[in-house]
Structure 1
Amino acid sequence: MTNILIFPAGTEIGKEIYYALRHDKHINITLAGSDYDSHARHCACAYHVIPDIAQPNWLDALQQLLQLEKIDYIFPAHDDALLALSEKRDALSATVLCPPHETCHTTRYKSKTYQSLRKILPVPAVYTDSNKITQWPVFVKPDRGQGAQGASCIETPEALASLLAQQSDLIVCEYLSGDEYTVDCFSERDRGLLFCQPRTRSRIRAGIAMTSRLVTLEHVEEYARAISDRFHMRGAWFFQLKRAATGELTLLEVAPRIAGTMALNRVNGINFPLLTVYEAMRKKIALLPVCKELQITRSLSNQYKHSIQFQHVYIDYDDTVIINDKLCLLVITFLYQCINHEISIHLITRHAGDIHLELNTRRISMLFDSIIHLDKDAKKSDWIKQQNSIFIDDSFSERMEVFNAKEIPTFDINMLELLIRD
């Protein structure tokens, strides 16, 4: 078993790494990060609170965790963590999954990245003297930033002067007016670039591509190979491009890490986090994408904490397990989750017809520990024997009757996501 730590786990990057590795039978995942509520604290594996890398004692705390959990590999899940971990990798007992520190340092800064690559691929013009700007608007962004966070389009010299007076860490660039793309890449230390796939950045929120689709672009493999060779890339990484007014694809940034929207390629057979682990293990790697036309639309997801404890589930059939003559997949997911946690499931129904034949036809007869088939006048509460139970039914009157009689939690299907564990 390979033990992998995702740190800091509460980012969108950490979420994608977790989703990409969680079902691998050879990997055990540990999560760590600061003491705040995030999706990582709702995952089905241990979450350890350790200091942020800005805190003076973070390295000692991290090393203690590595030894406690016998961690083999650390997956950085934030740009600043990537830089800090690459710098301190020799002081850690686990392998940090990233390229050399020089690469991480250079790519953390737009100015250093452009300076390093300007002779081998198109990069934006950078203005160090605002008096020499002849083409407006210009694009201003933090030199040490990611995505579109903190970036703005500035129309006039006066607005630029005002912004620069307020913030000193900005880089002033040529404004690129065309479409924007991300290119997801994978490199092996011995064979160089093995895979690159461009995708659109159609809808962006907080620097994250919320809608993206696979596309084919000119010169992308040439750019990717040049970047990979220049920075000695290993494992997963990406770069972003934008079209200039001339139509030329021009570099925005390079990041030697996982991107959250790499999920689009993961479901296409290119599991970047897992491939990165394999690259570190020096395993033989082959790639097999399955689809040329693919799109992702991302959204917020809900995670819940609750104090409800139960060992028995009593659930209705019609309009609950079955809705519109089809199995309700949310309910089926929940029932199998109960089986995994050794929670008993009791079907309690007034179904008109042979319920056993119905269940056999639906191929779900073995899901239930007991089947209670009632006549139309029987009270469901009379058949609920255990206090540590919950009751699920689409009918409010049925739920009210059971609650009044048994004082146990009752749910309809719209409430059920509360009980689904990630």
Structure 2
Amino acid sequence: MAKQNVLVFPSATYPAMQIIDCLKNNPRFHVIAGGSYSNHAEYVCDDIIDDIPYIIAPDFWYSFEKLIEDRDIKYVIPTDETAAMLLKEKESELSAVVVCSPYETTKLCRYKSLTYEALKGERYVPFVYEINHIGDINEFPIFIKPDSSQGSKGAALIKSKEQLAEIENLNDYVLCEYLPGEEYTVDCFTDKSGKLLFCNPRVRTRLMNGITARGHNIDLTSEFEDVVISINSKIRFRGYWYLQLKRDKDGRLKLLEICTRFAGSFAISKGKGVNLPLLALCDFSGLDTEIVQNEYVVECDKTYIDRYKLNFEYNHVYIDYDDTVTSKEGKAVNPYVIAYLYECKYKGNKISLITRHKDTFNEELKDSFKRLSISESLFDEIIELHWNENKKDIIKESDGSIFIDNSFKERKEIQEALGIPVFDISNMDCLFDWRF
């Protein structure tokens, strides 16, 4: 069965990286990362389009539909609120399915005033002050947030009438009761029939650039479940969505916002065995979906990951064995080096192993392979040296070759003698191709 093309757009967001990671090795779907400029997606996805006009540009819709037709794109997964709302609004004019809740829902969730109005009267909706009666507000602090922003951008704690009077364009804000308690995010999934299949509450313990940098899931108590079930019954969702809750001064859960795009840390649910982007695609493909999740606590911590492009090509890898392919004083395999070598194998790069293992450990190399479950067929050639032989004299193919060794002395000799790039295991991550 031919793979169906899926466009992740815009691709410059953190959720886009997570979506690509969830889908890129799936046998049913082929991922295309789409954006308006060169971004990190090109380091993790092997099919990139980076010249799509910005969604507010006059020529966006013509260019976007032409792209969908030219690339035979069947599904589009929006990765921010604006893209979700505008793409769903124009979906009938596109020849691709937008994998998101209906337009009415995306619009309702894009504006907090509409969200609160749709759920008015429910116990979990915070008290909202009327803009026309702000003079009647006597209890501070209160919390204000832009009606149409996402996350905490533009939000502020207002501690007095004087501070409130300084806010410009107050009609663009929603004024709510202050919620001092703990904050939660709940990842949810609703299938094509409106049935809520999944909800996973989580807390964040560290933030980085507005995204949960460390967080973990918590028990799905009836308190959380009741709120999610109520919201799902009143608003028409499809596929993935999430909500944010916070406790009021009395410890009761109150709603902050609902979003119909993927959250920055939905990977915590992936850690429980639930691939939400894949589930959404299956649901929008018309398939019946069900969820099986592992019952344990997942803690996820983020940091910046460096990925590289080197401006040279090579087709032959010479690599040392002890403390390079192996680690822990020869008691284990270095999993990152082995992964890289399999990547080289797939690309057709020749792999030559150069080693003095027998002289070092008084052990036959084949016995070391057997002990560590290494296949000899991984290597195109195996060159065993004695202590009086130099590796620089063995390497015959210097053009298009690189050398990897944990020994600085060996690397220095080979670079000076042959002029080829040399790598320690500490910097060979520069060689990885993360698009696999």
> Percent of aligned positions with the same letter in both sequences?
36
**Is the Cα contact below 8 Å between 2:10 and 2:78 reproduced in 1?**
yes
Instruction: State how far apart, in whole Å, the 2-side matches of 1:99 and 1:57 are.
Output: 25
TM-score (norm 2): 0.93
1:403/1:210 Cα in 2 relative to 1: closer, same or farther (>3 Å)? Answer: same
Describe the SS at the equivalent of 2:218: coil
Instruction: State how far apart, in whole Å, the 2-side matches of 1:141 and 1:308 are.
Output: 50
1:358 to 368, 374, 382: 368
Instruction: State how far apart, in whole Å, the 2-side matches of 1:121 and 1:76 are.
Output: 31
State which drifts further: 266-275 or 242-251: 266-275
Q: Is 1:312 aligned to residue 312 of structure 2?
A: no
Aligned partner of 1:190 in structure 2 is 193
Aligned partner of 2:384 in structure 1 is 373
Instruction: State how far apart, in whole Å, the 2-side matches of 1:150 and 1:170 are.
Output: 9
1:247/1:25 Cα in 2 relative to 1: closer, same or farther (>3 Å)? Answer: same
Aligned partner of 2:175 in structure 1 is 172
Aligned partner of 2:232 in structure 1 is 228
1:106 to 85, 105, 108: 108
Paired letter, 2:215 = S
Describe the SS at the equivalent of 1:336: helix
**Is the Cα contact below 8 Å between 1:15 and 1:260 reproduced in 2?**
no
Q: How does 1:249-288 map to 2 (within 5 A)?
A: 249-288=253-292
State which drifts further: 286-295 or 82-91: 286-295
Residue 407 of structure 1 and its aligned partner are, at CA, apart by 0.6
Aligned partner of 1:347 in structure 2 is 353
1:129-168 deviations in Å (ceiling 9; x for gaps): 4322222222222211122223222223222322x12776
2:244 to 231, 240, 243: 240
Aligned partner of 2:424 in structure 1 is 412
Q: How does 1:105-184 map to 2 (within 5 A)?
A: 105-127=107-129, 128=131, 129-162=133-166, 164-165=167-168, 169-184=172-187
1:132/1:202 Cα in 2 relative to 1: closer, same or farther (>3 Å)? Answer: farther
Give the RMSD, CA atoms, in angstroms.
Answer: 1.6
State which drifts further: 42-51 or 341-350: 42-51
Instruction: State how far apart, in whole Å, the 1-side matches of 2:108 and 2:393 are.
Output: 70
Aligned partner of 2:31 in structure 1 is 29
**Is the Cα contact below 8 Å between 2:315 and 2:349 reproduced in 1?**
yes
Residue 369 of structure 1 and its aligned partner are, at CA, apart by 0.9
**Is the Cα contact below 8 Å between 2:145 and 2:174 reproduced in 1?**
yes
1:11 to 13, 25, 48: 13
**Is the Cα contact below 8 Å between 1:147 and 1:208 reproduced in 2?**
no
**Is the Cα contact below 8 Å between 1:269 and 1:290 reproduced in 2?**
yes
Q: How does 1:376-415 map to 2 (within 5 A)?
A: 376-386=387-397, 387-415=399-427
Residue 121 of structure 1 and its aligned partner are, at CA, apart by 4.0
Q: Between Structure 1 and Structure 2, how many residues are aligned?
A: 420
1:96/1:199 Cα in 2 relative to 1: closer, same or farther (>3 Å)? Answer: same
1:144-197 deviations in Å (ceiling 9; x for gaps): 1122223222223222322x1277633222110000001111111314212111
Aligned partner of 1:39 in structure 2 is 40
Paired letter, 2:308 = Y
Describe the SS at the equivalent of 1:199: strand
Paired letter, 1:330 = Y
**Is the Cα contact below 8 Å between 1:192 and 1:233 reproduced in 2?**
no
State which drifts further: 47-56 or 207-216: 207-216
Task: Give the gaps of 5 or more residues in structure 1.
Answer: none
Paired letter, 1:326 = A
Instruction: State how far apart, in whole Å, the 2-side matches of 1:417 and 1:392 are.
Output: 11
Residue 337 of structure 1 and its aligned partner are, at CA, apart by 0.7
Q: How does 1:194-209 map to 2 (within 5 A)?
A: 194-209=197-212
Paired letter, 1:33 = G
State which drifts further: 250-259 or 291-300: 291-300
Paired letter, 1:95 = V
Instruction: State how far apart, in whole Å, the 1-side matches of 2:64 and 2:5 are.
Output: 15
Residue 282 of structure 1 and its aligned partner are, at CA, apart by 1.9
Residue 294 of structure 1 and its aligned partner are, at CA, apart by 1.9
Instruction: State how far apart, in whole Å, the 2-side matches of 1:152 and 1:367 are.
Output: 58
**Is the Cα contact below 8 Å between 1:199 and 1:214 reproduced in 2?**
yes
